[in-house]
């Protein structure tokens, strides 16, 4: 009371003014709402995102995370309390996403297979390009390299992370060539087209790329295309997949529906193109087999 | 046998001596084996895997980005010197070179290369991020990672992003870009693009040259030419004329985004850092096929999609995942 009287004196210049006390209490209450409410009921009361799309794709090195974050956040915010969080590092992603139930995951299909045994989740959708869910991966080399043994100690360009490239090459080339893969030096480049061009310049001896990029190169640069030969082809790789964590909450299901319907709007479609797919469809039996389910 | 019988003490001493020698020999062999197992095979030949990184100015973002990417990928050890710092002393760097005896010097920027040339003439040097590296003297031990992607990379990217673009205009001065335009014209044929070149002697001729080619081109390719890009006014004039004619301008530096460039293709610094690290390893492990002059392995692409749509230019939507940045 003594303290309030003191405030009254300060505010009213020494005159007692009960109306001022009420005003001060009222304004203090207003000021404390933003601080107290989140403490009592959680950060959601301020309109913070309730559910997150986590994205990690070690099959691409394009540093476009700022662009992805801006575009996807803008798209999702218009549809609800959602946000997008891309990751460029496996450990950071796993430390962040593990044990979360208020999220959905967009992952490279290769990485999903790496993760599925110790990260409980269910794959639901697969990305499509030209209506196809499967992409063909190719190990191409300079035309003078005729067989795999000539690649000993070679430099290989790839648009994926080093871990992905080594493991995928071992899968593609078979157990017999695992030691050969260990002798490779991997040059991670941002895009498939960079990998092919690096090979064209003689900077590397081979490139891990996709059939789409090779076909595109044959159309746009015949000179470069003629300099390469295809050593190994793998037809069993899916485009990125969408998974939902075990024990997910109701909001995650709503977000999954939003992701599934992205291609129905122009904004959604342009967002999807940024991570290399044109549409999503529900995984069928063949897709699930490829994912080892 | 007789000797043994005669002098059992001597026999015992000799036996102890033999056992001790055997133990010593065994220990030496074991130690050598352990060392052999610990040290990777390609290091056994006595290679020096220490690199000295000389940075022209670590406060410049792209220079520090290059250094970070190099260190993250390099498999040996490194010492670092920032010669952009105000406390820098040339003698201290010389001393570092003498004491650390690096197997290779990695120079970031031209200033670093000039210094490395002065203090360690015979050392293996990798020279990166040097603007117009051709103007610097190169020795047999110099390896260059060029700063700019070669014309063929840009031309391939033009076609990859815009399948319908076939005629690209280039304004240039013969003094600075005579050879470059010839290379670009030859490489463009492989990509199915026709380069319509126009040479100027003075910057005042740029406007007329551009107006004359405008109806014949699908896009203008702005190249680093000091005569054409003489000042900001001239640059503004080029962009205004192209915008009026709805012709996109393709360029090489993020700086031109503010003027209205539709597409910017530059070298990706992080990839160049990794490339330099791999080149360093190849030199230090004495791989014989190390290219002396290397083009940058990765590209950074910034695109103004809205402007491209406004100009009515067809964009390959599948290439959008290759875009690093949208200009808005």
Interface test mutation site (partner A, options B156, B165, B290, max chain A beta carbons within 10 A): B156
pLDDT band at B45 (very low <50, low <70, confident <90, very high): very low
How distant is the Cα of B60 from the closest Cα of chain A, in angstroms? 20
pTM of the model: 0.79
CATH 3.40.190.10 positions along chain A are 51-132+239-290, 134-237
From the CB of residue B193, how many other CB atoms can be counted at a distance below 10 Å?
Answer: 23
Q: Distance between CA atoms of B192 and A54, rounded to whole angstroms?
A: 41
pLDDT digits 0-9 by tens, B90-143: 888 888 888 878 889 999 999 999 999 998 878 899 999 988 788 899 999 999
pLDDT band at A32 (very low <50, low <70, confident <90, very high): low
Residue ranges of domains in chain B, CATH in brackets: 50-147+270-294 (3.40.50.2300), 151-251+299-326 (3.40.50.2300)
Residue B11's pLDDT is 42
The mean pLDDT value for B231-241 works out to: 95
Q: Is B132 left (phi over 0), alpha (psi -120 to 50) or beta?
A: left
Strand partners, B264: B251, B302
Distances (CA, A) of B222 to A83, B122, B168, B253, B308: 38, 39, 10, 10, 17
Q: Give the nearest chain A residue to B320 (CA atoms).
A: A274
Residue A7 in this model has a pLDDT that exceeds 80 = no
pLDDT band at B40 (very low <50, low <70, confident <90, very high): very low
pLDDT band at A25 (very low <50, low <70, confident <90, very high): low
pLDDT digits 0-9 by tens, A50-106: 899 999 999 998 889 999 999 999 999 999 999 999 999 999 999 999 999 999 999
Nearest beta carbon to residue A190 from set B160, B187, B299: B299
CB contact under 8 A, B190 and A190: no
Three-state SS for B84-127 is CCCCCCHHHHHHHHHHHCCCEEEEECHHHHHHHHHHCCCCCEEE
Judging contacts by C-beta atoms under 8 Å, the chain A residues touching residue B282 are 155, 185
- Asked if B160 reaches chain A (Cβ–Cβ under 8 Å), the answer is yes
Interface test mutation site (partner A, options B164, B321, B325, max chain A beta carbons within 10 A): B321
How distant is the Cα of A78 from the closest Cα of chain B, in angstroms? 20
CB contact under 8 A, B159 and A190: no
The mean pLDDT value for A191-209 works out to: 92
Is residue B246 within 8 A of residue B267, CB to CB? The reply is: no
Judging contacts by C-beta atoms under 8 Å, the chain A residues touching residue B298 are 61, 189-191, 194
pLDDT band at A17 (very low <50, low <70, confident <90, very high): low
pLDDT band at B35 (very low <50, low <70, confident <90, very high): very low
pLDDT-wise least confident of A18-27, A210-219, B27-36: B27-36
pLDDT band at B8 (very low <50, low <70, confident <90, very high): very low
Q: Under CATH, to which class is A51-132+239-290 assigned?
A: alpha beta
Q: Give the nearest chain A residue to B75 (CA atoms).
A: A185
Judging contacts by C-beta atoms under 8 Å, the chain A residues touching residue B190 are 221-224
pLDDT band at A20 (very low <50, low <70, confident <90, very high): low
Which CATH number does A134-237 carry? 3.40.190.10
Distances (CA, A) of A191 to A160, A218, B268: 8, 17, 11
How distant is the Cα of A231 from the closest Cα of chain B, in angstroms? 21
């Amino acid at each position: 009371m003594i303290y309030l009287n003191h405030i009254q004196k300060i505010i009213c210049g020494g005159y007692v003014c009960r109306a001022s006390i009420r005003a001060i209490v009222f304004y203090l209450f207003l000021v404390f709402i933003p601080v107290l409410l989140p403490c009592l009921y959680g950060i959601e009361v301020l309109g913070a995102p309730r559910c997150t799309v986590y994205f990690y794709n070690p099959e691409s090195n394009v540093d476009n995370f700022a662009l992805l974050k801006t575009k996807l956040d803008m798209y999702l915010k218009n549809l609800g309390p959602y946000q997008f969080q891309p990751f460029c590092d496996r450990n950071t992603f796993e430390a962040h996403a593990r044990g979360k139930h208020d999220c959905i995951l967009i992952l490279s299909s290769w990485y999903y297979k790496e993760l599925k045994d110790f990260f409980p989740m269910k794959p639901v959708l697969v990305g499509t390009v030209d209506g196809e869910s499967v992409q063909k991966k190719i190990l191409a080399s300079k035309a003078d390299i005729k067989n795999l043994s000539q690649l000993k100690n070679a430099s290989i360009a790839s648009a994926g992370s080093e871990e992905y490239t080594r493991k995928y090459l071992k899968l593609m080339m078979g157990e017999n060539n695992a030691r050969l893969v260990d002798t490779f030096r991997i040059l991670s480049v941002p895009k498939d087209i960079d990998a092919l061009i690096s090979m064209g310049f003689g900077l590397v001896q081979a490139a891990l790329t996709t059939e789409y990029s090779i076909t595109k190169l044959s159309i746009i640069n015949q000179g470069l295309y003629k300099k390469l030969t295809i050593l190994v082809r793998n037809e069993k790789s899916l485009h990125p997949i969408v998974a939902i964590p075990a024990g997910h909450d109701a909001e995650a299901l709503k977000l999954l529906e939003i992701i599934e319907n992205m291609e129905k709007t122009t904004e959604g479609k342009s967002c999807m193109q940024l991570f290399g797919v044109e549409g999503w469809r529900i995984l069928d039996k063949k897709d699930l087999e490829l994912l080892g389910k | 046998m007789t000797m043994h019988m005669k002098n059992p003490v001597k026999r015992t001493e000799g036996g102890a001596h033999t056992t001790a020698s055997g133990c010593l020999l065994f220990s030496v062999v074991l130690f050598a084996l352990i060392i052999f197992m610990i040290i990777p095979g390609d290091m056994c030949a006595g290679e020096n895997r220490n690199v000295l990184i000389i940075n022209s100015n670590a406060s410049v973002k792209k220079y520090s980005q290059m250094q970070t990417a190099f260190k993250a990928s390099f498999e040996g050890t490194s010492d670092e010197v920032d010669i952009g710092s105000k406390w820098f002393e040339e003698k201290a760097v010389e001393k570092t070179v003498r004491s650390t005896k690096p197997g290779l010097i990695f120079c970031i920027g031209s200033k670093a290369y000039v210094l490395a040339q002065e203090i360690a003439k015979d050392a293996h040097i990798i020279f990166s991020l040097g603007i117009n590296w051709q103007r610097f003297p190169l020795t047999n031990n110099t390896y260059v990672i060029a700063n700019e992607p070669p014309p063929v990379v840009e031309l391939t990217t033009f076609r990859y992003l815009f399948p319908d673009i076939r005629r690209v205009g280039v304004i240039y001065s013969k003094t600075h870009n005579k050879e470059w335009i010839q290379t670009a014209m030859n490489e463009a044929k492989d990509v199915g693009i026709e380069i319509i070149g126009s040479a100027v002697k003075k910057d005042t001729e740029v406007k007329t040259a551009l107006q004359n080619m405008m109806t014949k081109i699908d896009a203008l390719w702005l190249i680093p030419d000091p005569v054409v890009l003489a000042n900001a006014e001239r640059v503004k004039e080029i962009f205004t004329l192209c915008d009026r004619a709805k012709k996109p301008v393709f360029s090489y530096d993020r700086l031109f985004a503010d003027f209205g460039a539709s597409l910017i293709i530059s070298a990706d610094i992080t990839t160049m850092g990794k490339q330099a690290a791999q080149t360093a390893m190849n030199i230090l492990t004495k791989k014989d096929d190390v290219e002396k002059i290397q083009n940058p392995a990765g590209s950074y692409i910034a695109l103004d999609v809205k402007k491209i749509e406004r100009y009515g230019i067809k964009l390959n939507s599948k290439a959008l995942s290759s875009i690093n940045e949208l200009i808005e």
